[in-house]
Structures are given as C-alpha cells and as structure tokens.
A and B are shown apart, each in its own frame.
Chain A
Amino acid sequence: DAKTTQPTSMDCAEGRAANLPCNHSTISGNEYVYWYRQIHSQGPQYIIHGLKNNETNEMASLIITEDRKSSTLILPHATLRDTAVYYCIVRLGSGNTGKLIFGQGTTLQVKP
C-alpha cells in the first residue's frame, strides 16, 4: 500500500468547511484513497473512498487530483462533533478485505 502524508493538526471554525489534505505521490493505478476518522479513542469510522473521480456522500466529499498524487477530504459544514483524528489510507479497493494501515492522521479541532 502506498504511503500517505498528512498534516499533524488543523483547526476549523464551527459551520465552516474543513478541508483536510493528503499526499500520496506513490499511489498506483489500482489503489483507492480511503478516509476514516477516530473520535476520541472510539473505534475508527469509515467516511468515504474514491479511485479517481470526486466522490460525495452524506458525510463528506473527496476531491482527488487528476494525477492522483493528492486528495482533499471536505467536511462542508463542520460541527463540534467532527473533532477527531482523520486518517487517509491508500489501499486496493473493490473486493479488498486486507488490513488497514493507519498512520498518525490529522487531528482536526473544530472550534466554536
């Protein structure tokens, strides 16, 4: 699985969009970008994943650059409950049941 680089921490004002970047310059053609988050020592929670097209679900949007070397997770209207550690993970996608490899992630602090 390709390595990812994320900022250690970020702040965001409540109600504003939170944009969390991730670099994955060594991503290969069949690897997907997954995002998980962990709220204060709870179990990690799946957010979204994508291959090359931008994706949106009820939680977030994922923007992947055309060269696929980086991506941005967007929480459109951050709330205090979105304060968490966000993990960007690159791995094989469809049908993949292999382990998740977590890095240090980005600690997002949403402030009132």
Chain B
Amino acid sequence: EPEVTQTPSHQVTQMGQEVILRCVPISNHLYFYWYRQILGQKVEFLVSFYNNEISEKSEIFDDQFSVERPDGSNFTLKIRSTKLEDSAMYFCASSYFGTGPNEQFFGPGTRLTVL
C-alpha cells in the first residue's frame, strides 16, 4: 500500500538554525500539506500546496516558514531561524484531487527539538 514518508524521524537543532524537513507524498497525489503538533496539544494545520503554489496557510505559517517541491517527488518544509517554540511533531500529508472523499494520508512525522 502506498504511503507518505518523512525524513528525518527526529531532528535536533540549535535555536536560530535553519532546518529542512522532507516528505515524499504518495505518487499520484496532487495536494500536499504540513501540520504540526506541539506535545500534548492538538494537531494544527500549517500550509497546503497545489500546482507549485501555496493554496492556504495558517497564522502559524509566518515568514520563517517556506515550502517547496524541488522535484517530482519531494515536498519540503523549511524553517529559517528556529525558535524554542517550534519544537513539535511535524506531519506531512497528501491527497488525491478528484471527486472522491479526498482523504488526507499522513506520514509518520518528524520530531523537531529546538535547544
């Protein structure tokens, strides 16, 4: 069964450093998403991406964040200058665009720890 993959599974970084989280969505999917979950809190939407453009972003997704689909398979989330409060699980998701249920398939997540 196809699945979304994410690397690394755990990233530790120093405050102020740049990090890039990587995702490989399911191959025939066209919509891509990033969510995050701070420990003990709800899963929160960050950004959605379609046709090489951001479709929607949340208030969390400020100028420190960017997304990119550098090639036909990867989808990345970059945080330019990490803060302590960026520590969280980051989930990538993808969905197929069509008239079906369009459920989102999530990856296993990257745990980001900012020291």
**Chain A residues in the interface with B (C-beta under 8 A):** 32, 34, 38, 41-46, 49, 87, 93-104
Contact = CB atoms under 8 A, between A and B. Distances in A.
Given A41-B109, A99-B33, 6 more contacts: A34-B101, A41-B89, A43-B4, A97-B31, A99-B48, A99-B56
Interface string B80-110: 0000000001010101011111111111110
A95 B99 contact: yes
Contacts of A93: 101-102
Given A43-B91, A46-B104, A101 B109 contact: no
A94 B109 contact: no
A100 B34 CA distance: 11
Counting contact residues on chain B (CB < 8 A from A), the size range is 20 to 34
Contact of A94 (B31, B44, B101): B101
24 contacts: A42-B109, A43-B4, A43-B106, A43-B108, A43-B109, A44-B91, A44-B93, A46-B103, A46-B104, A46-B105, A49-B101, A87-B43, A94-B100, A95-B98, A97-B48, A97-B50, A97-B55, A97-B97, A97-B102, A99-B48, A99-B58, A102-B42, A102-B43, A104-B42
Contacts of B33: 99
**Of residues A87, A93, A94, A99, which shows the largest number of chain B Cβ atoms within 10 Å of its Cβ?**
A99
B45 interface: yes
A102 B41 CA distance: 10
A23 to B, nearest CB: 18
A42 B107 CA distance: 8
Nearest to B31: A97
Nearest to A49: B101
